[in-house]
Structure 1
Amino acid sequence: MQALVSLPDPLPEHYDDLRQVALSLRAAYEAELKAKDLQIEVLKYQLIRLKRVHFGAAAERFDPNQLGLFEEDLEADLAAAEIRQAAADLGQPGTPARRRPKRQPLPAHLPRIEHRHDLADCTCGVCGQALTVIGEDIAEQLDVIPARFFVHRHIRPQYACRTCDTVTAAPLPAQPIDKGLPAPGLLAQVLVAKYADHVPLYRQAVIYARQGVFIPRSTQAGWVGACEVLLEPLVERLRDPILGESYLQADETRLPVLAPGTGKTRTGYLWVYRTGPWSPLQAVVFDYAQSRGQTWPKDFLEDFKGTLQIDGYAGYNGVLAREAIVEAGCWAYCRRAFFDVFKATRSPLAAEALRRIGRLYRIEAEARDLDPAARAQLRQERAAPLLADLKTWLEDVLLKLPPASGLAQAVGYTLGRWPALLVDLQDGRIHIDTNPVERRLRGVAVGRRNDLFAGSPSGGRRAALLYSLIETCKLNGVEPYAYLKDVLTRLPSLPARDLDDLLPWRWRPRL
């Protein structure tokens, strides 16, 4: 370590002078150590944030899917051990039976296949008299038939006129792909598997081949492209009602796209816009863009007027500059910044900030089921005093922090967005954070890991289109496969004036 104060040459001989030199050196070393400690803290904070972006989950808690993997193996181990123990205890008296959790009843809509097991001889084995039926013992097991293929045969009788030698037959029903092999159900299966279950087309080809049906990936890709053309007008109708709302949440995520002719990928983005979680209209729309610049949301939200809730990314500044737009902030993003600092440094001040923000979330839990007016009133009565106290505390803390520290950055971010963070006090429609729209991006993250990248910008736009329909189905409690199968059946012959009836929140299955 290089000293900040050089030694005098020659060294002083008097004790007091030497002591003064030593104290100066000590102060210099302490200052340098403090500066290096601060630099290490900043680097730890940046490293944790980078790991979250590139490798980790967005939530500040243990990933439930990871915990589920542990529980699955634990339950399997327990079951295997119990079976072995039961076999070892067979025939030994006094072995206690395992208390099993109460089984949930099987859904009533599932078809039942009955298997009757009767006695071969209905006479009493003790006295020889005839037995009488006094009831039935019914046990149910759940079974499944893997997805199976079948063939639709369209048979059209040919009619001829002997007078004029004309031949007539009934027309074939309109199909999603004219003269194509796949029926609507198969097309829906391919789309749902790829965009809802995140199974790439090449894996689907392997799955189908196990059943003796060979559908190359290129063939499936052609079907997906044809469905894109058919579904595109419907997604255009999806966009207009969303932009007609007066409150939207927005977020964005990266989508690697293969750059043609280079063998490398470049970063595209999916921008997502969602109606408020308490809005009567539950819908979400994705927009593919080739960058993360301001142009994309500015163009997409050109006709939108109202409150836009975001996490503070500067890419929305072009939208927020309009007088018709009110910005709402995200407390989850503020909390995440303090959590990263606490994880890196175990700072008591970061822990205190997390505790104070946690009190706001406890109030939100109580307000979840209230109507907007009652929710706003509860926030004004209970959250507003906490927020005023939090702001004062953050301002005092900021004065004591080195400007470059991670904690100072977290505090500065929160105070810098303070007006946007208070918007929900007056408007009960506004959520405390942007987590509802972030949840719509979870499927994109899974698909990104499985597919690795989109094959082209057109693939990115196609993904945006299908994600829009599937995620809107989920918001409205609509099963995506049933929806897409029915929509793909009806679209080829549906008049344009009836297209709105197929929007997920208006769609009803045909009986």
Structure 2
Amino acid sequence: MNWSDRLEELVLTQEQRDAFLDRMRVQVGPEDYRRIETFCQLAVTLGKDNLSKLRHLLFGRKTETTDRVCPVVEPAPAAAPKPPPKGHGRCGARQYTGARWIEVSHRALQKGQRCPQCQKGSLRAQRRRGVVLRIKGSPPISATGWSLEKLRCDTCGEVFTAPAPPEAGTTKYDESVGVTVAVLRYGSGMPHYRLARLQQSLGVPLPESTQWELMAPLFELALPIFEELLRQTAQSPLLHNDDTSMRILDLRRPGSATAAEIAPERKGTFTTGIVGSVSDHPVALFMTGWRHAGENLARVLQHRAAELPPPIQMCDALSRNTCGEFDSILANCLGHGRREFVALATSFPEQVRFVLEQIREAQQRLLHHQTHSQPVMDKLHQWMSQQLEEKRVEPNSGLGQAMGYLLRHWEPLTLFLRQAGAPLDNNVCERALKMAILHRKNSLSYKTLNGAQTGDLFMSLIHTCRLNGVNPFEYLLAIVTHPEAVKLVPQAWLPWNYPNSATTPDSS
């Protein structure tokens, strides 16, 4: 009998399960029957919970709001209509910061002239100008060729070629090509082979090897900026860290440069995301390799000034987030604890709704004042402890395990009640890691550790630009066009201060 046949025998309908319990009732004692009945109910509950977690893992969750997860059976009292949320309409003209705007003056009239309509008043310039916006499509990489006329003497054979115009430049590839490739690859997840095939179909070939050769100088030029960004982020009072899986093909391959450095028990490869701040400017750092998130955070904190106090570290409760040798004030993500209950909503709707409502109330009150959240969290802690101590909840059930998770990590989960500046969740770091996940979904892996470090640098700079509202293409292009200034003073070329550096007279 194969495994599939055995699994088919284990699948029972509700009627078959009830009939099985009826047969067991007359064959075993009352105590044994009670245990068998409990095991059957527990197996069904765990199966539903695991299927719910698997569905959310594969397809994601559209929303985890309390009313969606645990809908109220009784209709709620009529409330005042809420205004529609903002941000779901068309993009306004002010959002097109990357457009080329052209000032257009009135052809027939000027300010100060007599009004042609009433012939009495004078025309005054309006602060709010009219707007006409036109959007055009173009290939990612375009090319311009100059056909130079050649003249040959029919007597001496000398050939005379027309000189190229000044706009042709001296190099085949403009600096913007490597910047475009970097932004597409590490900012939008477009692999080199996909861009190469797109360009081939558009009549402007750009092979994969050429793309890498164009990005390599930009990596070397931006490396001092990344190191300066890392050094300044190490001084941040709050650091978020988390990681996600990533593959590096040559990392453990026999004969590779990194195989001997990795301990045999290390099997995983990860991309760590670290989010901090530099003078109120958010910064995102990415590090890929065999080290865990805690070890990478320890490498960052090696650059921290000794006179500074330990930073607040926000992460989930996984041990690999804290495995490095460093001092920090640990805060755990309350969102992770909440998700432990969200997956159990179908099996324990009343208990799950109570927990979600308490967490929601604590989050809302925290916005008002920190002290107002303490009674709510104390009530939640007392209720969960009472449920487990009085045996109202089976400790090994899904609900009991979710409660145990919160109780085991209660101190770091509630650090926001005692420490000023402590966040409630690690969502900002999880959002940052979506950039690495996007790269993993499209490119699947890195080939070498050098390629992974290249991706880390560009992802760090690109995502930091986005967090600060800076155009990553213009930022990287400014770095390429001012190489000497970047090498001389890299701290003046961070994403939030580079416009001033690019416009100074000595920046060229």
TM-score normalised according to structure 1 size: 0.68
Change (3 A) 1:294 1:503: closer
Counterpart for residue 273 of structure 1: 274
Counterpart for residue 282 of structure 2: 282
Counterpart for residue 152 of structure 2: none
Q: Which amino acid aligns with 1:230?
A: L
Query: Which of 355, 358, 372 is the equivalent residue of 1:356?
Result: 358
Q: Aligned partners of 1:445 and 1:308: how far apart in 2?
A: 22
Uncovered stretches (5+) of structure 1, i.e. residues with no partner: 3-20, 63-100, 117-132, 154-171, 368-377
Change (3 A) 1:279 1:60: farther
Report whether the alignment pairs 1:45 with 2:38: no
Counterpart for residue 245 of structure 2: 254
Report whether the alignment pairs 1:398 with 2:388: yes
User: Displacement of 1:301 after TM fit?
Assistant: 3.3
User: Matches of residues 190-269 of structure 1 in structure 2 within 5 Å?
Assistant: 190-259=181-250, 267-269=268-270
Q: Aligned partners of 1:327 and 1:294: how far apart in 2?
A: 12
Counterpart for residue 459 of structure 1: 451
TM-score normalised according to structure 2 size: 0.68
User: Displacement of 1:134 after TM fit?
Assistant: 7.0
Indicate if the aligned counterparts of 1:257 and 1:455 stay in contact, CA closer than 8 A: yes
Indicate if the aligned counterparts of 1:328 and 1:420 stay in contact, CA closer than 8 A: yes
Q: Which amino acid aligns with 2:230?
A: R
- SS of the residue 1:256 aligns to: coil
Q: Which amino acid aligns with 2:271?
A: L
Report whether the alignment pairs 1:449 with 2:441: yes
Identity in percent: 21
Q: Which amino acid aligns with 2:283?
A: A
Indicate if the aligned counterparts of 1:45 and 1:406 stay in contact, CA closer than 8 A: yes
Deviates more, 1:179-188 or 1:53-62: 53-62
Q: Which amino acid aligns with 1:415?
A: L
Deviates more, 1:138-147 or 1:383-392: 138-147
User: Matches of residues 7-156 of structure 1 in structure 2 within 5 Å?
Assistant: 22=26, 24-25=28-29, 27-49=31-53, 52-53=56-57, 56=60, 60=64, 106-107=93-94, 110-111=100-101, 140=132, 142-147=134-139, 149-150=142-143
Indicate if the aligned counterparts of 1:248 and 1:274 stay in contact, CA closer than 8 A: yes
Indicate if the aligned counterparts of 1:245 and 1:275 stay in contact, CA closer than 8 A: yes
Counterpart for residue 386 of structure 1: 376
Q: Aligned partners of 2:480 and 2:54: how far apart in 1?
A: 42
**How many pairs does the alignment contain?**
398
Larger radius of gyration: 1
Q: Aligned partners of 1:293 and 1:248: how far apart in 2?
A: 12
Q: Aligned partners of 1:47 and 1:246: how far apart in 2?
A: 40
Q: Aligned partners of 2:222 and 2:317: how far apart in 1?
A: 33
User: Displacement of 1:29 after TM fit?
Assistant: 3.1
Alpha-carbon RMSD across the aligned residues, in angstroms, is 3.9
Write the deviation string for residues 128-154 of structure 1: whole angstroms up to 9, x where unpaired. Answer: xxxxx979xx9946331414635599x
User: Displacement of 1:241 after TM fit?
Assistant: 0.7
- SS of the residue 1:274 aligns to: strand
Q: Aligned partners of 1:456 and 1:59: how far apart in 2?
A: 38
Change (3 A) 1:142 1:53: same
Q: Which amino acid aligns with 1:214?
A: P
Indicate if the aligned counterparts of 1:454 and 1:460 stay in contact, CA closer than 8 A: yes
Uncovered stretches (5+) of structure 2, i.e. residues with no partner: 1-8, 11-24, 67-87, 107-115, 119-129, 147-165, 255-266, 305-309, 504-508
Query: Which of 281, 292, 316 is the equivalent residue of 2:321?
Result: 316
Write the deviation string for residues 422-463 of structure 1: whole angstroms up to 9, x where unpaired. Answer: 221233322111111111112222222111222223222221
Change (3 A) 1:241 1:61: same
Write the deviation string for residues 267-289 of structure 1: whole angstroms up to 9, x where unpaired. Answer: 5211111116x961311211112
User: Matches of residues 367-446 of structure 1 in structure 2 within 5 Å?
Assistant: 367=368, 378-380=369-371, 382-399=372-389, 400-446=392-438
User: Displacement of 1:49 after TM fit?
Assistant: 3.8
Counterpart for residue 89 of structure 1: none
